[in-house]
Amino acid sequence: MASGYPLSGCGALAAALRTQGATWPWRLRVVSTCASTEPLLQHWVRCGRRGPSAVVARRQRHGRGQWGRSWCAPPGGVWLSAAWPVPRSGAAPQVQTEGLGLAVAVAVMEWLERLGLTVAFKWPNDILVGRHKLAGLLAHRQLRGGVPRHLGLGLGLNVANAVPAAAVALRQHLGTRTPSLPQAQAAALLACERAMVLLEQPEALVQACQARLWLPPQPLAGPTGAPVRVMGLTPAGGLRLRQQDGTTAVVHKGLWRLPAPSLGQLSAAPLPPRQD
């Protein structure tokens, strides 16, 4: 059983973690309102916080997603940042961590499916219900000397909050069966634990994520502007694209993104110049 939960301001989340079977000794900080949870977490870690840590906000004023886009984060949703050390065997990590984003996405989707939802993964960061965005996540690795030392996750999940037209909240599909906010926050942190298990079998992880991958129904403008079709994923989290000449290219997050489902074949931006 996990231990080490501070009680002040975190009692409901700590209880939900225990009830749901958390095994990591999470240290928690819950704030009412902040600009973004990520700077608070990074400051906490720099000040010497060791082990799995998470900062949870009831509301974010300036949440940021992929490409620096703002993320609407009013009360009623899950807005959190988490960090944890990489498990090690001697001097080397015990697992390959390049596919962390896929692993966390699968873990979150498994939980949503247990709630009775049909979900899809829109590469590289979004979880959809139908054509609407339910959650967004940003997984990252902190490297030292080229070796991953800490892993991190920023996650936004619409639960019972107001959402824009292109998004959806759990309450809209689950009604009275909607999890409480502490239960949903705990599920997000347990997804971090589950992700480390999924990373132990990278081929099975890719298959699990590809089975839930949102595929555009028609060819779309790829990184160079030429038409491409989405073919699948790589273990490191890259997207495989079939080009016009029949060859396969791999693009990684941060360089290109799929259009929103409701926008059909909207052209995506071309790749920026490579920085070597």
The predicted structure's pLDDT at residue 148:
78
Q: Give the homologous superfamily in CATH for domain 11-210.
A: Bira Bifunctional Protein; Domain 2 (3.30.930.10)
Q: What is the DSSP letter of 150?
A: E
The predicted structure's pLDDT at residue 47:
79
CB neighbours of residue 225 within 10 Å: 12
70-98 tens-digit pLDDT: 556 899 999 999 999 988 766 567 788 89
The predicted structure's pLDDT at residue 182:
96
Residues 6+ apart with CB under 8 A from 236: 98, 99, 252
The per-residue pLDDT of the chain, averaged, comes to 86
In this predicted structure, the answer to whether residue 141 has a pLDDT above a threshold of 70 is: yes
234-258 tens-digit pLDDT: 999 999 999 999 999 999 987 788 8
90-139 tens-digit pLDDT: 656 778 889 999 999 999 999 999 999 999 999 999 999 999 999 999 99
The predicted structure's pLDDT at residue 25:
95
* Spatial distance between the Cα atoms of 266 and 133, rounded to a whole number of angstroms: 17
Between 77 and 7, name the one with better pLDDT: 77
- For the packed helices 181-198 and 100-114, what is the interaxial angle rounded to 10 degrees? 130
The predicted structure's pLDDT at residue 188:
98
Structure tokens belonging to residue 234: 């790589």
Q: Are 123 and 212 in contact (CB under 8 A)?
A: no
The predicted structure's pLDDT at residue 143:
76
The predicted structure's pLDDT at residue 68:
52
Structure tokens belonging to residue 245: 């000449």
Bridge partners (DSSP) listed for residue 121: 127, 213
Q: What is the DSSP string of 201-233?
A: SHHHHHHHHHTTB---SS-EE-TTSSEEEEEEE
167-211 tens-digit pLDDT: 999 999 999 999 999 999 999 999 999 999 999 999 999 999 999
143-168 tens-digit pLDDT: 777 777 889 999 999 999 999 988 99
In this predicted structure, the answer to whether residue 273 has a pLDDT above a threshold of 60 is: no
Q: What is the 3-state secondary structure (H, E, C) of 4-33?
A: CCCCCCCHHHHHHHHHCCCCCCCEEEEEEE
State the pLDDT confidence band at 276, using cuts at 50, 70 and 90: very low
The predicted structure's pLDDT at residue 71:
59
* Spatial distance between the Cα atoms of 201 and 197, rounded to a whole number of angstroms: 8
* Spatial distance between the Cα atoms of 154 and 144, rounded to a whole number of angstroms: 20
The predicted structure's pLDDT at residue 261:
81
Instruction: Give whichever of 7-16, 69-78, 157-166, 265-274 has the largest mean pLDDT.
Output: 157-166
